[in-house]
Amino acid sequence: MHIFAAENSNKTNREMDYQEQRKEELYSQVIPAGKRRYFFDVKETRGGDKFITITESRKLFDNKTGEFYIDKNKMFLYKEDFEKFRKGLENALSFIETGVEPEPVVPMESYRPDDTDARLNEIDFKF
């Protein structure tokens, strides 16, 4: 333990945090798309389960400050949802190409919302 601390003594906490975060990252792909960039990162939990983070990064202008800033939106996709997500994406792309609505990934009659979904109906979304 002492050797590790000595090796990193010249690094800031931020640099060490970044290195620790990169250790969890197994794969990363950046897709530039105009003013946006999409990041697909495969990471691993401490328990060894792999998951995907999909990040949309956009460069925006703040009229109040007169400066650009980066807006990020991140989504976590866990292994138990990989197949449903893949099928849902395929369905959406198929609809765009053909105009024919595909069968839903999960039929509404078999969908059982959990407590989180039910509580979303109670939130007053005012923007």
Model confidence pLDDT, tens digit, residues 98-107: 999 999 998 7
Q: Taking a C-beta distance cutoff of 8 angstroms, is the pair 88, 107 a contact?
A: no
pTM: 0.64
Instruction: Kindly state whether residue 119 falls inside one of the protein's structural domains.
Output: no
Which position has the higher pLDDT, 79 or 18?
Answer: 79
Please report which confidence band the pLDDT of residue 109 belongs to, taking 50, 70 and 90 as the band edges.
confident
Instruction: Kindly state whether residue 112 falls inside one of the protein's structural domains.
Output: no
Domain count, the chain: 1
Model confidence pLDDT, tens digit, residues 55-68: 999 999 999 999 99
The average pLDDT across 81-88 equals 95
Q: Which domain holds residue 6?
A: 2-79
| Three-state secondary structure of 21-51 | HHHHEEEEEEEEECCEEEEEEEEECCCCCEE
User: Residue 17 maps to which CATH number?
Assistant: 3.10.450.700
Instruction: Kindly state whether residue 98 falls inside one of the protein's structural domains.
Output: no
Instruction: Kindly state whether residue 23 falls inside one of the protein's structural domains.
Output: yes
Instruction: Kindly state whether residue 124 falls inside one of the protein's structural domains.
Output: no
Model confidence pLDDT, tens digit, residues 36-58: 999 999 999 888 899 999 999 99
Give me the pLDDT at residue 11, please. Answer: 52
Please report which confidence band the pLDDT of residue 8 belongs to, taking 50, 70 and 90 as the band edges.
very low
Residue 55 burial (C-beta neighbours within 10 Å; 0-12, 13-18, 19+):
middle
Nearest to 34 by CA among 59, 54, 53: 59
